Structure 1
């Protein structure tokens, strides 16, 4: 990518390649969670190849990795991408909103809870694209986000006299959906939880491709 014109428009595939380099660096401990989130956000906002190159220039083998193809989606996940979003946001004012079950999640979902609560459950969802960004704001209220256990998750929100749970941040199965959560909790809370889907009998269902969920 370095030898090509820096003002050439970047493709989605090239942004994905840079994102893979950043994920490797996070897993290796070369980037902390905050820096990873900042660079990943910059990668997906980049318009040209010249904006992408500096994001990985200080990482070992960055050039080699950036030239490699994006990983093939794991069995089962490829079938969950594509379609028109059925909802792009939820708002709760002294009430509640729920998005769960079989729905099509958008590239960006905006959640606002003011003196109320919201639930966003992605375990049975289809996805408009391989990545979903959830912008959550909780003011004297709460937003609960439930993700598949094998999803890749990055949480970068801030809590002010409230809580913004970062514990679900981490890698996932190659090819699985990427979930990025940002926003603000003010006298409220935003929780992000990895949770397997349970059958009506209470047993945990397997993940796409027949894999067993982690504990």
Structure 2
């Protein structure tokens, strides 16, 4: 494939995550600062073609051209949540966007989806945790497809969440992304949390 054709190709989520891992590794090695990492990640997740990756990694990727794992079209947009050396909690009510990006850098993001619903049959959340954590709280009737990567970190579901299986045809929440020295965790909780009754003594 010629260089011009490759540069014009559309990128997939997996391509963005490969570049994001390269940037995180560069920051861990001291080649870029935390502020540069955040700025470059914004550009990576906004990119539509491989040509838009080039200026982001030109000084970090001398080993060869970036390659594609997908040539199809891809929907952009959706809301975002992020925390940089801080804590952020977002509670969703009503229909979820088809795509959402959540990033935590030396901080934590908590997404509470118990009052939300998936109107289009599925929703994808890309979660990135760098020396921080992203926790996604989902209702018991969501089907889960969690396929992230943990690099010296954890990415997955809680033990109780893995045991629960929603009914066939349930709306699907897909969680992708990666954790680098951090964690991304998806847990189930009842829509109405149980209240503990305090009994008096004596």
Q: Pick closer, same or farther for the CA change 1:200–1:172 going to 2, 3 Å.
A: closer
Provide the C-alpha distance between the structure 1 equivalents of 2:194 and 2:165, rounded to a whole number of angstroms.
Answer: 29
Larger Rg over CA atoms: 2
The structure with more strand, counted as a fraction of residues: 2
Q: Which runs of 5+ in 2 are unaligned?
A: 1-70, 198-202
RMSD of the alignment, in Å? 2.8
Residue 166 of structure 1, CA deviation? 4.0
Aligned to 2:134: 143
2:171 to 167, 174, 177: 177
Residue 128 of structure 1, CA deviation? 4.4
Provide the C-alpha distance between the structure 2 equivalents of 1:171 and 1:90, rounded to a whole number of angstroms.
Answer: 28
Alignment of 1:11-160 (within 5 A): 88-160=79-151
Aligned to 2:192: 198
Asked whether the 8 Å contact 1:156–1:166 carries over to 2, the reply is: no
The count of aligned residue pairs is: 121
Q: Give the secondary structure class of the aligned counterpart of 1:125.
A: strand
**TM-score normalised by structure 2 residue count:** 0.52
Asked whether the 8 Å contact 1:153–1:171 carries over to 2, the reply is: no
Provide the C-alpha distance between the structure 2 equivalents of 1:165 and 1:91, rounded to a whole number of angstroms.
Answer: 19
Provide the C-alpha distance between the structure 1 equivalents of 2:96 and 2:132, rounded to a whole number of angstroms.
Answer: 22
Greater alpha carbon shift after TM alignment, 91-100 vs 178-187 = 91-100
Residue 112 of structure 1, CA deviation? 0.3
Residue 129 of structure 1, CA deviation? 1.9
Residue 89 of structure 1, CA deviation? 1.1
Residue 107 of structure 1, CA deviation? 0.5
Q: Give the secondary structure class of the aligned counterpart of 2:115.
A: coil
Q: Pick closer, same or farther for the CA change 1:199–1:91 going to 2, 3 Å.
A: closer
